[in-house]
Structure 1
Amino acid sequence: MNMVMQLQSRAYRLISPFQLQEVMVEQTLKEGQVVVEPIIASICHADLRYYIGQRRPEALSKKLPMALLHEGIGKVVESTSNDIKVNQKVVIVPNIPGHLLQNGFSKECSSLCDQEFIDNYSEKNIFLGSGYDGIAQNRLILPAECAIPIPENIPDEIALLSELCTVSYHALSRVKNKLTLPNTRVAVFGDGPVGYLTAAMIHHVYGLDSNRLTVFGAVPDKLAHFDFAKQILVQEYDFHSGEKVDMVVECTGGSFSESAINQGIDILARGGLIILMGVSEERVPINTRDVLEKGITLFGSSRSSCMDYRAVLSEMQDLEYQKKLRAILPLKFTPVKSIKDFKHAMDIAAKHRSWEKIVLEFDWEQT
């Protein structure tokens, strides 16, 4: 590829827990790439784990310094692609496939290259905000394939949720044959944003309602949002004698993973399966005896690929689905005009982890 342009980006980098630094980063724009100026972004629990230093020391040492954030949309300010136009609004895909990093041509990326989910699991991929500068910068260079145009009938704040939604979509798409069976019963563990968006995806895309979709959570106010599903408080339920389900989706993560996974094993019917989506820094002990005796299948799912974004954006054009997604959006966005504003937003997010997402609205011209 021929070099097209040299440019600088202004990045808000995390250099150590709670410590940010504004730096200028030299970048090269190449053929087949676009330059995106972030407009809005949201703070993920993964960002907070880096920010407050909850990752293992070796992970922090390996990945810092870096600009955080991987959930966002932006405006194209430069393009060398015929498919993406300047001033187009796009969703930023943070999971950059390895073959797009090898001058856009090499497919020599992984032993999984012949499988359909290669773009998600190649060891040659990079992920923005996880060892590589993320969205907290005023100029972001992406392969054109990783800048997905936003349909005009999807509001910016709904498109912003596409990263989280695609993670759910990707996981569920791997078991779509089971989800489309008329009698499949599903239980989602987790009453946070990931649990909500996963349950909403199951309801909207696969048509399961409270007769076949149950959500287990620990906080009544959070569970009340899941009005399209049966809602059960984990602390009030007898998992050993309760109704059996065919599939469990674990969306808790952290210290709650152990109880959620084992409770899921308890209520699974023989031959059932568990999708693990929650992230935990510690190893999680599970009841392998019942896994073996029931013939349970477990698989993990993380991140998503460009094809998942296109599918989710298509679903997001539905007004009823948009209405459900708005439940996790705040009434007001947090303006970010400087690194001081960004640090303040991260500090607030670290101290007060609300059910709603924190949405940052960037104004790069003011700095």
Structure 2
Amino acid sequence: MINIVYRLKSPKFFEEAIDEVDLDGVVVRPTHLSICQADQRYYQGSRPSEVLDEKLPMALIHEAIGEVVFDSKGNFKSGDKVVMIPNTPLCDDIYAPNYSYNSKFRGSGFDGFTSDLINLPRDRVVKIPDNFNLNVSAFIELISVAYQGITKFKQIAITPKDKLGVWGDGNLGFITALLLKELFPESKIIVFGKHQENLNLFSFADEIYRIHDADGVTIDHAFECVGSSASQTAIDQIIDLINPQGTINLFGVSEYPVPINTRLVLEKGLTIQGNSRSDREDFIGVVETLKQNPLLFEYLEKLITNVCEINSLNDLKESFDRDYISKFGKTILKWNI
């Protein structure tokens, strides 16, 4: 089946390419996509030049949902709404698929979801109910990243979970805090951030603090969702405020090495856990969580800053430009190409 893929050839320049889709799996037509910071780093050309030379041209976007066009085994019906899993693992009996060196990830090394059609293995597709908010569903992948980190946290945390602190008032901080409130209803969720206008959106949190006003606050476990160079300040503050034997769950991505106060880490017996990406069980967990509490959609919808109709490559370029100047929130692409 003939297909058109819309690839980033060089920073800020998209091109069309003719491809072919096999009919040996599940063929999905993307309908709603979501831009993330990793996509923007490629689009803006802010990754190192050797990385850009290695990976471009490449179709962007790893957060997306779509409708099934064809399933060679008939498990999915034509028109079924599904979330697409960007992580494509190869055989690995030791490491989780989202950490295995053998896994490939769409929009980072091979083509993402900016295409007319996508062919996926059957286990890379999860059905979503027809009544789900489709704009929010477009970034289920991002929600699943927070979900997998919280799942790992449950496995390693050995001290009380009375006070859970989230550092970061951006998209991932919002999602992580919201999921913690849903999954740990007896815990106090405390959010730390820099921007009061963003913090005001965390209405579900028990307490919010600007980072310079947090003296005397203590927490049992921490979730760092800051990233970039600011993650050093966040991690320093976490180490100061966290109780002994707490866990520090890192989500933020930095392009540069981040110094850590190892003396206090050792004195307090802290556990530091890295979190990246997710896999099928996390997507299923998110879909089930949203089914059980559809009110979560009302909170998650607050993250949507832009909804862009994509009918041409110029529309795609303009959507990335609009997203870049947005200080907060998600840009959703209604994929009409």
Normalised TM-score (structure 2)? 0.94
* Aligned-residue offset at 1:182: 6.3
Describe the SS at the equivalent of 2:113.
coil
Q: 1:126 to 1:19 in 2, by over 3 A?
A: same
Matched with 1:115 is none
Partners of 1:178 and 1:184 within 8 A in 2: no
Matched with 1:124 is 102
Matched with 2:316 is 342
Matched with 1:302 is 276
Partners of 1:158 and 1:316 within 8 A in 2: no
Query: AA paired with 1:261?
Result: I
Matched with 1:280 is 254
Matched, 1:82 2:59: no
Matched with 1:322 is 297
Q: 1:134 aligns with which of 91, 98, 112?
A: 112
Describe the SS at the equivalent of 2:98.
helix
Partners of 1:110 and 1:122 within 8 A in 2: no
Partners of 1:192 and 1:222 within 8 A in 2: yes
Q: 1:205 aligns with which of 164, 183, 187?
A: 183
Describe the SS at the equivalent of 2:22.
strand
Query: AA paired with 1:145?
Result: D
Query: AA paired with 2:8?
Result: L
* Aligned-residue offset at 1:279: 0.6
Query: AA paired with 2:87?
Result: N
Q: 2:152 aligns with which of 174, 183, 194?
A: 174
* Aligned-residue offset at 1:24: 1.2
Aligned 1:262-277 pairs, distance under 5 A: 262-277=236-251
In 2, distance between residues paired with 1:354 and 1:232? 19
Matched with 1:361 is 334
Partners of 1:36 and 1:76 within 8 A in 2: yes
In 1, distance between residues paired with 2:323 and 2:93? 37
Describe the SS at the equivalent of 1:153.
coil
In 1, distance between residues paired with 2:118 and 2:143? 22
Q: 1:323 to 1:178 in 2, by over 3 A?
A: farther
Q: 1:24 to 1:92 in 2, by over 3 A?
A: same
Partners of 2:147 and 2:282 within 8 A in 1: yes
Matched with 2:54 is 62
Query: AA paired with 2:23?
Result: L
Aligned 1:146-295 pairs, distance under 5 A: 146-176=124-154, 183-208=161-186, 212-229=188-205, 230-238=207-215, 242-295=216-269
Describe the SS at the equivalent of 2:309.
strand
In 2, distance between residues paired with 1:304 and 1:177? 16
Unmatched runs of 5 consecutive residues or more in structure 1:
1-6, 99-106, 113-117
In 2, distance between residues paired with 1:84 and 1:128? 22
In 2, distance between residues paired with 1:19 and 1:199? 36
1:205-242 alpha-carbon deviations (Å, 9 max, x no partner): 22156xx211000000100111122100012333xxx2
* Aligned-residue offset at 1:360: 0.6
Unmatched runs of 5 consecutive residues or more in structure 2:
none
Normalised TM-score (structure 1)? 0.87
In 1, distance between residues paired with 2:304 and 2:194? 21
* Aligned-residue offset at 1:329: 2.0
Q: 1:110 to 1:16 in 2, by over 3 A?
A: farther
Alpha-carbon RMSD across the aligned residues, in angstroms, is: 1.8
Q: Which moved more, 1:167-176 or 1:157-166?
A: 157-166
Q: Which moved more, 1:36-45 or 1:173-182?
A: 173-182
Ranges of 4+ aligned residues in structure 1 off by more than 3 Å: 177-183
Partners of 1:8 and 1:139 within 8 A in 2: no
In 2, distance between residues paired with 1:258 and 1:333? 33
* Aligned-residue offset at 1:180: 10
Query: AA paired with 2:6?
Result: Y
Matched with 2:94 is 111
Q: 1:67 to 1:362 in 2, by over 3 A?
A: same
Query: AA paired with 1:360?
Result: L
- The sequence identity of aligned pairs, in percent, is 36
* Aligned-residue offset at 1:179: 7.0
Describe the SS at the equivalent of 1:215.
strand
Partners of 1:191 and 1:219 within 8 A in 2: yes
In 1, distance between residues paired with 2:186 and 2:8? 42
* Aligned-residue offset at 1:157: 2.0
Q: 1:23 aligns with which of 7, 14, 17?
A: 17
Q: 1:236 to 1:322 in 2, by over 3 A?
A: same
